[in-house]
Amino acid sequence: MGDRRQSYLVAAASAVSLLGDPAVSAAWDKPSALTEFSVAGLAGHLALQLVRVRDALALDREAQEPIELIEHFSRSPWVQAGLDHESNVYVRRGGEAAAADGPAALVERSQALLDELSATLPAEPADRAIPLPWAEWSLRLDDLLLTRLVELVVHSDDLAASVGIETPALPDSVIDPVVELLARLAVHRHGATAVIRTLSRAERAPATISAF
């Protein structure tokens, strides 16, 4: 799959480029493709995937024994919660707050964060245990970055669809681990049979195998 830190930086650079697309600023105050998210809020949420990594690396808290990714998502309330659940309301408010001073400022801050992470992240050990600022557990650095890869890839598609442009093309080193993790989460949530049927037997496919 390649180096996870480099894959994250590639995806983050693509996201920053997308945030700077004129189509995004032109649609800034319009509804996005996601229910109850404006384009601005969705752009802010995408940009926060750089903030989350910076903040996790800088957190002055002792790391616990890192848990596995499936357990991480099982513990996260937003995964299967409704739109009105406090965890999802918090996510939307965070995106809107991040975008409050407009598209140009958001792009400028995101580029500065990308430059900072590009300089510091490659030196970090891949197996470093990282305490999560937003949770009471820790992940290995590579696993934390994979969660952010999923966010960057999925929400780049959401943002591109919201403003009527093509979804940014990303290399296999970014897409492959995202697809693998989403498939694992889908199997965990719906069972292997449902996922296999959806991928191979449309006539017996369930209504959804969504990972989230």
Instruction: Render pLDDT for 42-64 as a digit per residue (tens, 0 to 9).
Output: 999 999 999 999 999 998 888 89
Question: Please, what is the average pLDDT of the chain?
Answer: 92
> Rounded distance, CA 40 to CA 180, Å?
29
| Secondary structure class of 167 (helix, strand, coil) | coil
Nearest Cα to 107, choosing from 24, 36, 165, 34? 24
Domains delineated in the chain: 4-167 (1.20.120.450)
Q: Is the pLDDT of residue 80 over 70?
A: no
Q: Tokens at residue 154, please?
A: 């999925």
Q: What is the pLDDT of residue 40?
A: 97
| pLDDT tens, residue by residue, 119-144 | 999 999 989 999 998 888 999 999 99
Q: Are strands 138-140 and 129-131 parallel, antiparallel or unpaired?
A: antiparallel
Q: Is the pLDDT of residue 85 over 70?
A: no
pTM: 0.92
**Contacts of 57 by beta carbon, 8 Å cutoff, 6+ apart:** 120, 121, 124, 130
- Which residue intervals of the chain are DSSP H helices? 4-19, 22-26, 39-58, 69-75, 86-98, 103-120, 141-163, 172-190, 192-200
Terminal-to-terminal C-alpha distance of the chain:
23
